[in-house]
Structure 1
Amino acid sequence: MNNTEQQALFIIFGGTGDLAQRKLYPSLFNLYKRGYLKNHFAVIGTARRPWTDEHYHEVIKESIADLSDDEEKANDFASHFYYQSHNVNDTNHYVTLRDLADKLDEKYGLCGNRLYYLAMSPRFFGTICEHLKTQEIITKNGYNRVVVEKPFGHDYESAKALDDEIGSVFPERDVFRIDHYLGKEMVQNILAVRFGNSMFNAMWNNRYISNIQITLSEALGVEERAGYYETSGALRDMVQNHILQIVTLLTMNAPVSYSAEDISREKINALKSLKVYNADEVKKNFVRGQYGSDAGLKAYRDEDQVASDSMTETFVAGKLAVENMDFAGVPIYIRTGKRMKEKATRIDVVFKQMPVVVFKDSCLKSDVLTINVDPEPGISIQLNTKKVGQNFDTESIDIGYSLSDEQKAEMPEAYERLILNALRGETMNFARWDELSYSWKFLDSIRKAWDDEDLSVDAFPNYACKTMGPKASDELLEKDGNHWEF
């Protein structure tokens, strides 16, 4: 697509927060540098803090300092930002917000187009949306779209209540539930690899695939997010959204077309195909863990805002079963955790070994397709070949593709890509309510089984920092005759 200029007013609730400063403002600046935002845009940042426009501009320029060495360009970009001290529960503040929004709409020629970004606690989503409607901040002559961050509820019932609150104001087509993993270059490459290559398209089924492995490992601990993490845990924080979205892309059937409607339909069907486990099956197929202290690093229970006897999991590994024609019998292994050996997001598709070993004295390994999402985006294939020399011995080699420095420079950051999608009204890379509802129902069965389990407080911690999780995670695969490729 060309870089057509977008006309819109951004209203960011939570404009002083960490997310806004680390992700949103740099992403908007990148869109500005690439020409998607030029003269016809404005941003209102709102929060409780009593900032001035001048102070807000300094915050903006500091947040984009690493992206610009052109002071004039940075100043011009920051001049489009306006700050409004705001209490989300105070109706009068919305009146002030509406007046400022209308003024900026006229000043910048925004045609009534508005994007509301809710970078705040979900408990405020309903209140904000209702006030946007009753105080007539929502325009009649342009589009009005709302972007919401996770966590979108903490179980199915709370997510449904949240969706009802937002849905009473915004139709589904205007609700953009952001999952930044769906904006990552190599996650978006999954469909291209699967359906753009006859070899993989023909082999992407239980006749040829032995198992699929998904790893989202983080080297850091919970850091300043400990308060939130105590109420969430790895299961809700990573599995319900990021991992299950990747699972759907790997197991969905081919869509009729590359459109939001067709792709979402197949993703929903993939989620419907996930076997929902009972308590005994959860115990058999899922592992949880919590990191301990090691090498001068704190144990989870020693982090600020964490209870000394906390049973919150910082690690999850699981074996998923997809009950459809193509993937019946193919285990999908997932794992994610804090304080692991390294930060990485990786997908390994392990193919079945040859049924007849022609080369009897050779040790053949399984062919493996690896999609590296982070930190070094790329794709590689592990194949068996003959060793150079007189004898006929085989060895495993990797044939790989990684992004060049030039490609990395051009690659949009996930939030940058998704914000532009929202401006264009493109819903393909956002989770729809039906997807969330099925993912929550799957997750709730696991959470309930864990909550009902009488687990001793001495069960945690059960893995050391800088490892790939508890031993039980390895045993989960070993009992199937498999092993983690990463």
Structure 2
Amino acid sequence: MPDIQPHLFVIFGATGDLTKRKLLPALYHLMQDQDIAQRCHVLGTARSEWSDEEFRATAQKALRENGFSEEELAQWCGRRLFYQGLGEDGQDFDALRDRIDQIERHYDLPGNRTFYLSLPPSAYGPTIDGLGAVGLNTSPGWTRVVIEKPFGHDLKSARALNERVHGHFDESQVYRIDHYLGKETVQNLLAFRFGNAIFESLWNRDRIDHVEITVAESLGVGGRAGYYDQSGHLRDMVQNHLTQLLSLVAMEPPAAMEADAIRQEKVKVLNAVERPDPEEDLVLGQYGAGTIDGEPVSSYREEADVPDDSDTETYAALRLRVNNWRWQGVPFYLRTGKRLPTKLTQVAVRFKSAPVSLFQMSRQPGRPEPDGERATPNELLITLQPNEGFDLRFEVKAPGTDGEITLESQHLSFSYENAFGPVPDAYETLLRDIVTGDQTLFVRADEVEASWALYGPLLEADVPVHPYEAGSWGPYATDQILAD
């Protein structure tokens, strides 16, 4: 692992929910590594005019709720956390610059800085401009700026944001964070594909029938209704999370396991995707009332802050085609939604059936009768949550079948937690990469724009939003896409 140099980690939006739930616990975990603990200091900043002590008390409370030791928390917060207010308009960057200088002098830091924008998207531009205006875009050491998704609202706004960022920062300084890329199984897609010739040799149109990418949530919109109703599920999930999974599954081998080589191949995939037809390749839905885990749940329109006549989609299913040598003719099915039966993120790679069926019947374990007249196709399941791992379904002869061979589906399974113990949180992985300067798991500017260019026609299309019952797997109209 690259050396971790002494640095200052500055969090914009330090009083917000993301900081309390994800960033502070991830930083605390990282700093259990003494290499990092001796080199990293954290400066929170927001509009609230807090003192260092108020920020430390808030951080301690948030970390205590994550189950950390009280004594260790008090020591860590007292030595490593600082706070600087930005004024009512959030624009006092002169005061921020002075506080950074003061901390760096006191702790003899070399000027290495990370600026993490845990902010509403509308604040990205002004914050970037503010940093540039007072010279915080450069330093005696390295400077990195971290931007949370969404990276724009459409292609036009994404380009405008990229231009604004590049007006003050070089692309090599920019870390656009999509937390899905920090999950161990997502990272392992590259190792799994390119480190195992047995699978890479099958990873093409000759052997694969189709690929399904599912991101299901059992929760509703919760407290995000104000943002969500203006965004919708295509923008909130498909354009970023599912598209990242698509590009990693479909990309060609990179020239090297380096950030730009990998990201270049991901962009090539997006540029090769045929523009989907909204009428033929897209189904949108919105959840109604229903039952999940035996509990009644309200419809989307009954959620707080959602208009009674809202047509915002909470579900999207689409069919994509990657027009290149490897994937020609292989459909990629993406589906994602809220208030589905369970929380699940999974990539299912369905292999083609044998060209000739020598064994006419296949049954599932525990069932006395076959399910059909043909052997069940092999399938590889790559699960990101709730239990990260891999599962390969294959066929074996069922015992004692009176001379006639009946096949039964069995599984080869690998669980990350069983093999290695608890896996690091995605944010912990990504923050470590930020402080070591590894951009592999972060989204490049041209990748953002290629993704928005792909989905632009879908966002602008007049497509019906079908109702579906909470606790179901989405609108019935989805079956038509998946059946094809």
1:109-128: CA deviation from partner (whole Å, max 9, x where unpaired): 32100100111122222221
In the alignment, structure 1 residue 96 sits paired with structure 2 residue 107:
no
Give the conservation status (yes or no) of the 8 Å contact 1:181–1:414.
yes
Q: For residue 232 of structure 2, give the secondary structure of its aligned residue in structure 1.
A: helix
Moved more, 218-227 or 42-51: 42-51
Aligned partner letter, 1:350:
R
Q: Structure 1 residue 407: deviation in Å?
A: 2.4
Structure 2, gaps ≥5 residues long:
363-373
Going from structure 1 to structure 2, the CA distance change for 1:408 and 1:287 (only over 3 Å counts) comes to: farther
Going from structure 1 to structure 2, the CA distance change for 1:287 and 1:90 (only over 3 Å counts) comes to: closer
Corresponding residue to 1:431 among 420, 443, 465: 443
1:289-328: CA deviation from partner (whole Å, max 9, x where unpaired): 0000124311111111111110100000011010001101
Question: Aligned residue for 2:396?
Answer: 385
Q: Structure 1 residue 36: deviation in Å?
A: 4.4
Aligned partner letter, 2:136:
I
Aligned partner letter, 1:258:
M
Q: Structure 1 residue 37: deviation in Å?
A: 2.2
Aligned partner letter, 1:211:
H
Give the conservation status (yes or no) of the 8 Å contact 1:68–1:74.
no
CA distance in 2, matches of 1:159, 1:321: 24
CA distance in 1, matches of 2:329, 2:155: 28
Question: Aligned residue for 1:127?
Answer: 126
In the alignment, structure 1 residue 399 sits paired with structure 2 residue 412:
yes
CA distance in 1, matches of 2:31, 2:318: 42
Aligned partner letter, 2:317:
A
Question: Aligned residue for 1:476?
Answer: 481
In the alignment, structure 1 residue 286 sits paired with structure 2 residue 282:
yes
Give the conservation status (yes or no) of the 8 Å contact 2:11–2:43.
yes
Aligned partner letter, 2:224:
R
**TM-score, normalising length from structure 1?**
0.93
Question: Aligned residue for 1:27?
Answer: 26
Q: For residue 306 of structure 2, give the secondary structure of its aligned residue in structure 1.
A: coil
In the alignment, structure 1 residue 152 sits paired with structure 2 residue 148:
no
In the alignment, structure 1 residue 269 sits paired with structure 2 residue 268:
yes
CA distance in 1, matches of 2:289, 2:90: 45
Aligned partner letter, 2:155:
Y
Question: Aligned residue for 2:45?
Answer: 46
Aligned partner letter, 2:252:
N
Q: Structure 1 residue 42: deviation in Å?
A: 1.7
Question: Aligned residue for 2:368?
Answer: none
Going from structure 1 to structure 2, the CA distance change for 1:30 and 1:339 (only over 3 Å counts) comes to: same
Aligned partner letter, 1:229:
Y
Give the conservation status (yes or no) of the 8 Å contact 2:211–2:347.
yes
| RMSD of aligned residue pairs (Cα, Å) | 1.6
Q: Structure 1 residue 63: deviation in Å?
A: 1.7
Alignment of 1:33-72 (within 5 A): 33-67=32-66, 69-72=68-71
Give the conservation status (yes or no) of the 8 Å contact 2:48–2:88.
no
- Indicate the percent of aligned positions where both proteins have the same amino acid: 38
Question: Aligned residue for 2:212?
Answer: 213
Q: Structure 1 residue 89: deviation in Å?
A: 4.6
In the alignment, structure 1 residue 442 sits paired with structure 2 residue 454:
yes
Question: Aligned residue for 1:349?
Answer: 349
Q: Structure 1 residue 73: deviation in Å?
A: 2.1
Structure 1, gaps ≥5 residues long:
481-486
CA distance in 1, matches of 2:361, 2:335: 35
Q: Structure 1 residue 72: deviation in Å?
A: 3.1
Q: For residue 428 of structure 1, give the secondary structure of its aligned residue in structure 2.
A: coil
CA distance in 2, matches of 1:448, 1:138: 36
Give the conservation status (yes or no) of the 8 Å contact 1:13–1:45.
yes
CA distance in 2, matches of 1:36, 1:242: 32
1:340-379: CA deviation from partner (whole Å, max 9, x where unpaired): 0000101100000000111235530010011011010110
Q: For residue 427 of structure 1, give the secondary structure of its aligned residue in structure 2.
A: coil
Q: Structure 1 residue 82: deviation in Å?
A: 1.4
Give the conservation status (yes or no) of the 8 Å contact 2:351–2:378.
yes
Q: For residue 24 of structure 1, give the secondary structure of its aligned residue in structure 2.
A: helix
Aligned partner letter, 1:473:
T
CA distance in 2, matches of 1:139, 1:40: 20
Question: Aligned residue for 2:433?
Answer: 421
**TM-score, normalising length from structure 2?**
0.93
Aligned partner letter, 1:85:
G
Corresponding residue to 1:367 among 363, 373, 378: 378
CA distance in 2, matches of 1:427, 1:354: 41
Q: Structure 1 residue 33: deviation in Å?
A: 1.1
Aligned partner letter, 1:335:
R
